[in-house]
Structure 1
Amino acid sequence: MVKDKKLYNLLGVEPTASEAEIKKGYRKQALKYHPDKPTGDTEKFKEISEAFDILSNADKREVYDQYGLEAARGNAPAADQGNPFGGAGGAGGGFSGFGGAPGGGGFRSSGGGGFSNADAFNIFSQMGGFGMGDDGFTFSSSGFGGQGGQGGSPFGSSGGFRSGGGGGMPGGFGQRSQPRPDPDTVSMPLPVSLEDLYKGATKKMKITRKDPNGSREQKILEINIKPGWKSGTKINFSNEGDYQPECGARQTIQFVIEEKPNPIFKRDGNNIILTVHLTFKESLTGFEKDVTTIDGRRIPLSRSNPVQPGFTTTYPGLGMPISKSPGQKGDLEIVFKVDYPTSLTPAQKEAINTNF
């Protein structure tokens, strides 16, 4: 009987789940809670990754099912509590004599000193990153630093996870070592025009970074702007910044989208607002005009009756693309603004008084 179901619940699977079901559960939850997603939660993402780290390894899963999470982490309870491994290193010492199955699955975390954020991103990278089937961000090999060009790997492109040293079961059941800190994240704004956010674009950014030997080098990062992205969208390039000796990895470069002001159009969520100016006479007697949308199409406008200041007419489907719903767009809102005269001649005042 399973002692604790917490890790299975984190992946949304039953304790009887197969290897394929565990992978599917991890994929779904990791893509939902990845910190770069709107639904992201860093701590939840780390818990999900640790759950997968344990349950994807047959030996570690067996220990977890029998003795619980702390035992699976290598923190063995005392022998008199019924754990035959209680004397193998003591609490916090790890199962120094417990070897993993030959060629066993699972992932090795960055040392036995605790499961870190770096371990979580590394597992995400090794499992394919955002290329696992989500419709979210997709980068070339320069993005997110992982092999195959997907996911965020704070450990570079050499592949694999850092071992905690010593023998034993994969994932930290060997000799413990002090974990390294996570690499820093350096954020910088990326101004993008509303037109590029509407149709999508590719931006190339040149960065200067520090090598492990302390010298400087330049590198070009290619950023694929997806149609419909908004201000505040974050694009991460792991392991692309300055090398940090204390981490054994490079910084993460993070670009934050900033929408440039547009002289004609204004964005409101997924909608686009276009203000049409009318003279006082046009607002009273009517008008015929053409306006051009952000994608270049022309829309004829005509009125024969008076138009109130601030009157709005809506054109569905002519707004911004919705990045999370491919093929769908917001609305175009045309707002009429009446430009009242700043002064009137006596004849004009007389005409108004006579007719109104």
Structure 2
Amino acid sequence: MGKDYYAVLGITKAATEDDIKKAYRKQALRFHPDKNKSPGAEDTFKEIAEAYDILSDPKKKDVYDRFGEEGLKGGGGSTGGGPGTFNYTFQGDPHAIFAEFFGGRNPFDQFFGSRNGGLHEEMNTDDPFAHVGMGGLGGLPRSFSSGMGGMGGYGGTSLTKRQDPPIVHDLHVTLEEVFSGCIKKMKISHQRLNPDRRTGRTEDKILEVEIKKGWKEGTKITFPKEGDETPTNIPADVVFVLKDKTHPVYRRDGADIIYPAKVCLRDALCGCTVSVPTLDSRTITVTTRDIVRPGMKRRITGEGLPLPKSPGCRGDLVVEFEVKFPERLSTSARETISQVLPPS
């Protein structure tokens, strides 16, 4: 007598396709080695996967129903009914089948507390989806309930895959880099599938991020599907978000740059000249004969950052005056100021 795969799943030969899926779900969760620590659980878990692999595939199931395990594995018949050439050997990964069935690259997040933990105490192993509120056919999520074919070697209709959420990284740039534009090379490591489409490998990749002139803080640069790839997911997009580095001289205000010019109280009252550096290493002289009040500004047109949509045009360089008041005054200085300055 060969193996009774129906008995392995706890069903009869009259079981429907939905019954087979429900039985696999129940048994796989019950005997998963991360939950069931009893001796032989790993072997039982593999046997459950093999039973599902056969009974969920119409061709394999037909041969098994007519000729039993011997016919399925080359010792009995074929799909034609005579001495057969059908030769089946289970070569699947039971853990991969488990992940594929539940439609997630890490089903433990959904059903188990952790890989080293166990099934949540409140979860019902007869109907684990009752706890997480999953809908769809046979307890499967609705997006995976249609098109579930046989899973021998991932045969049959493929499951609907969902793309992972974007992976977002901040990309810090200087004002000089925004002024001139540049290329940033960012090294990432991601998982890629081997040709067998089951096992994976880690690959390093250099992504070249083109920073265009005048780009604003918050600009997003997206590299589609550069996240980790698994048999059950669509890789996430990798997104870089521009962030301005703090500049030692300027502040940024859109396409304008602000230069704080500190002047003493005497110069503020009597007039002054300040030398203002530019982003392209020139110096512009700004002279005022007016009284400089705190917060007074002088705008130098066209000396700011390029405009993102019109890189040939530029914002302004804004000189923002800061008046430095003395810490103390001598008695004679007080008297002189009192005589010179009109009363308020």
TM-score normalised by L of structure 1: 0.48
In structure 1, what is the equivalent of residue 340 of structure 2? Answer: 355
* Contact kept in structure 2, 1:244 and 1:251, CA below 8 Å: no
Query: After the TM superposition, which of the residue ranges 257-266 and 210-219 deviates more from structure 2?
Result: 210-219
1:35-88 CA distance string (max 9 Å, x none): xxxxxxxxxxxxxxxxxxxxxxxxxxxxxxxxxxxxxxxxxxxxxxxxxxxxxx
The structure whose Rg is larger is 2
* Contact kept in structure 1, 2:186 and 2:206, CA below 8 Å: yes
In structure 1, what is the equivalent of residue 174 of structure 2? Answer: 193
AA partner of residue 339 (structure 2): T
* Contact kept in structure 2, 1:275 and 1:336, CA below 8 Å: yes
Query: After the TM superposition, which of the residue ranges 276-285 and 322-331 deviates more from structure 2?
Result: 322-331
* CA distance in structure 2 between the aligned counterparts of 1:215 and 1:178, rounded to whole angstroms: 22
2:187 aligned with 1:202: no
Match of 1:227 among 213, 222, 232: 213
1:198 Cα deviation (Å)? 1.4
SS at match of 1:244: coil
* CA distance in structure 2 between the aligned counterparts of 1:177 and 1:189, rounded to whole angstroms: 36
| Structure 1 unpaired stretches of 5+ | 1-163, 166-175
1:324 Cα deviation (Å)? 1.3
AA partner of residue 304 (structure 2): G
* Contact kept in structure 2, 1:203 and 1:223, CA below 8 Å: yes
* Contact kept in structure 2, 1:209 and 1:242, CA below 8 Å: yes
2:166 aligned with 1:181: no
SS at match of 1:230: coil
1:93-152 CA distance string (max 9 Å, x none): xxxxxxxxxxxxxxxxxxxxxxxxxxxxxxxxxxxxxxxxxxxxxxxxxxxxxxxxxxxx
Query: After the TM superposition, which of the residue ranges 273-282 and 306-315 deviates more from structure 2?
Result: 306-315
In structure 2, what is the equivalent of residue 336 of structure 1? Answer: 321
1:193 Cα deviation (Å)? 0.9
In structure 1, what is the equivalent of residue 121 of structure 2? Answer: none
2:218 aligned with 1:238: no
1:177 Cα deviation (Å)? 7.0
SS at match of 1:243: coil
* CA distance in structure 1 between the aligned counterparts of 2:281 and 2:201, rounded to whole angstroms: 48
* Contact kept in structure 2, 1:228 and 1:323, CA below 8 Å: yes
In structure 1, what is the equivalent of residue 272 of structure 2? Answer: 287
* CA distance in structure 2 between the aligned counterparts of 1:312 and 1:337, rounded to whole angstroms: 9
* CA distance in structure 2 between the aligned counterparts of 1:290 and 1:188, rounded to whole angstroms: 38
Matches within 5 A, 1:4-153: none
RMSD (Å), alpha carbons: 2.2
- Structure 2 vs 1, CA of residues 219 and 306 (structure 1 numbering), >3 Å: closer, same or farther? same
In structure 1, what is the equivalent of residue 259 of structure 2? Answer: 274
* Contact kept in structure 1, 2:265 and 2:326, CA below 8 Å: yes
AA partner of residue 352 (structure 1): I
Aligned length: 183
AA partner of residue 246 (structure 1): T
2:285 aligned with 1:304: no
1:318 Cα deviation (Å)? 1.4
Match of 2:298 among 305, 310, 313: 313
Query: After the TM superposition, which of the residue ranges 285-294 and 331-340 deviates more from structure 2?
Result: 285-294
* CA distance in structure 2 between the aligned counterparts of 1:208 and 1:177, rounded to whole angstroms: 27
AA partner of residue 208 (structure 2): E
AA partner of residue 226 (structure 1): K
In structure 2, what is the equivalent of residue 211 of structure 1? Answer: 192
* CA distance in structure 2 between the aligned counterparts of 1:229 and 1:335, rounded to whole angstroms: 24
AA partner of residue 180 (structure 2): K
* CA distance in structure 2 between the aligned counterparts of 1:234 and 1:271, rounded to whole angstroms: 21
1:197 Cα deviation (Å)? 1.2
In structure 2, what is the equivalent of residue 61 of structure 1? Answer: none
In structure 1, what is the equivalent of residue 241 of structure 2? Answer: 256
- Structure 2 vs 1, CA of residues 271 and 315 (structure 1 numbering), >3 Å: closer, same or farther? same
Give the % identical residues.
37
AA partner of residue 263 (structure 2): L
1:162-186 CA distance string (max 9 Å, x none): xx99xxxxxxxxxx97532124310
AA partner of residue 253 (structure 1): V
SS at match of 1:314: strand
* Contact kept in structure 2, 1:183 and 1:244, CA below 8 Å: no
AA partner of residue 233 (structure 1): T
* CA distance in structure 1 between the aligned counterparts of 2:200 and 2:327, rounded to whole angstroms: 66
AA partner of residue 219 (structure 1): K
